[in-house]
């Protein structure tokens, strides 16, 4: 495993290829406004939950994409091959239902003529995979646990859920060494289970003891008082909320507050954390560790970050959608940066050409730095873009990036642990299907 991340090509050659594509994209943004021909529109499919319990990981991403598209079009679009294009996002609300996701994918491809489809993934991907197999359409997911050797046209180019969660645990272990034990809860579904396995591996690698088995609750749960009571009965130093949906994280935090918990909280997300503070207190939220920054953080304006104008993006997003910034607000837009650079490089908008250009050389420009196309040992295919990921801590009521943790470095030391726990929960690609 330690040798997995050795470079197959020279670093100079790989960076040169990525820089040429990025330079073409940047040049497109400097072009004057122009009138676009009707047939020079790139339609991008957005197939995600826009309503229902999981909408917080769909709709904010669509809102972010629309800002991204307006910026690109206002700057003159982008030159791909011999043509100039502007962008149109075509959305389909799959309501986090596999059947609706399959119908949506079919409509987006055959009726709307999209060239690329972005998804949240998870429980909806099995409904879509036959459509991908039959059409060769290029899809993206925010959940690399969707990947398998059969998913040849599915990429995880932005979010490497749940693997990045190891960085939060690693940071916590180094900065709060007095914390010796933990409990964890999660909803029993396709997002919760692989994340539980990842957290168990990360805590084991850090030498932090589990006081109880993971508490897996029904996704239909609405009363979290018994869940929290059971967790706190073990008197833990750390309570881990895994990758719980916003509609779970908020009431769980409120119950932790009401039941007097004063220890450490770690969670994959803390979307709309200002609402958590309203339901608890600034003091209660102090030190909460999670994985998704606000994009006004100065750390995102440093060299090596590949998301264009993150502070400006955050400001405009919040002007248009006050109080709605969350984990996915920027991620789908970040995927579009990567897709557009690949299309420019390929000189084509066709899915097979863009896919080949995107993966050429084995590296890509992830939002938080250069990253490797990786995943064979865990997913059976190198279709996840893995590199650095931020560790975020709430300080004085505000999210602050504390460091960018290196996922490949953690994997090189502890990959066997992650495979062990993924196997225990039946999450390895050879156990699914």
In this predicted model, what pLDDT tens digit does every residue of 138-152 receive, in sequence order? 999 999 989 999 999
pTM: 0.86
Range(s) for CATH 3.40.50.2300 in the chain? 11-161+302-387, 165-296+391-431
**pLDDT (0 to 100) of residue 39:** 57
Asked if 144 and 150 count as a contact pair (C-beta separation under 8 A), the reply is no
**Tokens 């190891």 identify what position?**
166
Of 31-45, 97-111, 162-176, 398-412, the poorest mean pLDDT is in 31-45
Q: Confidence class of residue 303 from pLDDT cuts 50, 70 and 90?
A: confident
Share of residues in the chain with pLDDT > 70 (%) = 91
Torsion over CA: 169, 61, 373, 15 (sign): negative
| Three-state SS letters, 15-33 | HHHHHHHHHHHHHHCCCCC
Of 7-16, 80-89, 100-109, 306-315, the poorest mean pLDDT is in 7-16
**Tokens 């009431």 identify what position?**
251
Contacts of 6 (CB under 8 A, 6+ apart): none
How confident is the prediction for the chain on average, in pLDDT? 91
**pLDDT (0 to 100) of residue 433:** 63
Share of residues in the chain with pLDDT > 90 (%) = 87
The mean per-residue pLDDT over the stretch 76-93 comes to 96
- For the segment 190-221, what is each residue's pLDDT rounded down to a tens digit? 899 999 999 999 999 999 999 999 999 999 99
**Radius of gyration over alpha carbons of the chain, in Å?**
21
- For the segment 232-287, what is each residue's pLDDT rounded down to a tens digit? 999 999 999 999 999 999 999 999 999 999 999 999 999 999 999 999 999 999 99
CA distance 420 to 1: 14
Asked if 132 and 144 count as a contact pair (C-beta separation under 8 A), the reply is no
Q: Confidence class of residue 34 from pLDDT cuts 50, 70 and 90?
A: very low
C-alpha dihedral, 76 to 81 to 87 to 91, nearest 10°: -170
Q: Confidence class of residue 11 from pLDDT cuts 50, 70 and 90?
A: very low
**pLDDT (0 to 100) of residue 275:** 96
* Residues constituting the chain: 433
* Beta strands 238-240 and 139-140, pairing class: unpaired
- For the segment 361-390, what is each residue's pLDDT rounded down to a tens digit? 999 999 999 999 999 999 999 999 999 999
> What CATH number was assigned to the domain covering residues 11-161+302-387?
3.40.50.2300
Q: Does domain 165-296+391-431 have CATH number 3.40.50.2300?
A: yes
DSSP state, 387? Answer: -
Q: Confidence class of residue 432 from pLDDT cuts 50, 70 and 90?
A: confident
Structure tokens at 264: 């450490």
Query: Is the pLDDT assigned to residue 37 strictly greater than 90?
Result: no
In DSSP terms, 46 is beta-bridged to 91, 118
């Amino acid at each position: 495993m330690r040798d997995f991340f050795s470079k197959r090509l020279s670093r100079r050659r790989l960076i040169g290829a990525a820089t040429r594509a990025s330079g073409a994209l940047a040049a497109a943004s400097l072009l004057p406004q122009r009138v676009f021909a009707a047939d020079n529109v790139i339609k991008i499919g957005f197939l995600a939950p826009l309503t229902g319990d999981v909408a917080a990981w769909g709709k904010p991403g669509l809102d972010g994409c629309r800002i991204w598209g307006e910026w690109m079009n206002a700057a003159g679009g982008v030159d791909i091959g011999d043509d100039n294009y502007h962008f149109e996002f075509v959305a389909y609300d799959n309501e986090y239902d596999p059947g609706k996701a399959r119908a949506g994918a079919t409509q987006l491809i055959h009726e709307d003529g999209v060239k690329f489809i972005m998804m949240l993934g998870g429980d909806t991907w099995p409904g879509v995979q036959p459509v991908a197999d039959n059409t060769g359409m290029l899809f993206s997911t925010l959940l690399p646990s969707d990947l398998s050797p059969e998913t040849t046209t599915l990429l995880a180019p932005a979010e490497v859920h749940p693997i990045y969660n190891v960085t939060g645990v690693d940071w916590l272990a180094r900065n709060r060494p007095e914390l010796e034990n933990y409990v964890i809860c999660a909803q029993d579904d396709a997002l919760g289970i692989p994340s539980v396995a990842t957290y168990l591996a990360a805590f084991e690698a850090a030498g932090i003891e589990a006081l109880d088995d993971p508490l897996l609750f029904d996704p239909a749960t609405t009363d979290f008082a018994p869940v929290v009571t059971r967790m706190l009965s073990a008197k833990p130093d750390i309570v881990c909320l895994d990758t719980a949906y916003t509609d779970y994280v908020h009431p769980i935090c409120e119950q932790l507050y009401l039941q007097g918990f004063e220890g450490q909280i770690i969670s994959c997300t803390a979307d709309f954390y200002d609402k958590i503070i309203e339901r608890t207190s600034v003091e209660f939220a102090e030190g909460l560790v999670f994985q998704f920054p606000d994009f006004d953080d100065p750390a995102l304006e440093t060299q090596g970050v590949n998301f264009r104008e993150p502070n400006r993006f955050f400001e405009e997003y919040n002007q248009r959608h006050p109080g709605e910034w969350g984990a996915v607000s920027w991620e789908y837009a970040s995927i579009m940066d990567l897709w557009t650079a690949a299309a420019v490089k390929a000189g084509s908008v066709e899915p097979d050409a863009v896919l080949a250009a995107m993966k050429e050389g084995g590296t890509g420009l992830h939002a938080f730095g250069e990253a490797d196309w990786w995943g064979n040992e865990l997913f059976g295919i190198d279709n996840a873009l893995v590199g650095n990921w931020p560790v975020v801590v709430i300080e004085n009521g505000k999210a602050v990036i504390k460091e960018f943790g290196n996922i490949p470095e953690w994997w090189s030391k502890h990959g066997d642990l992650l495979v062990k726990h993924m196997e225990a929960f039946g999450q390895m690609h050879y156990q699914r299907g």
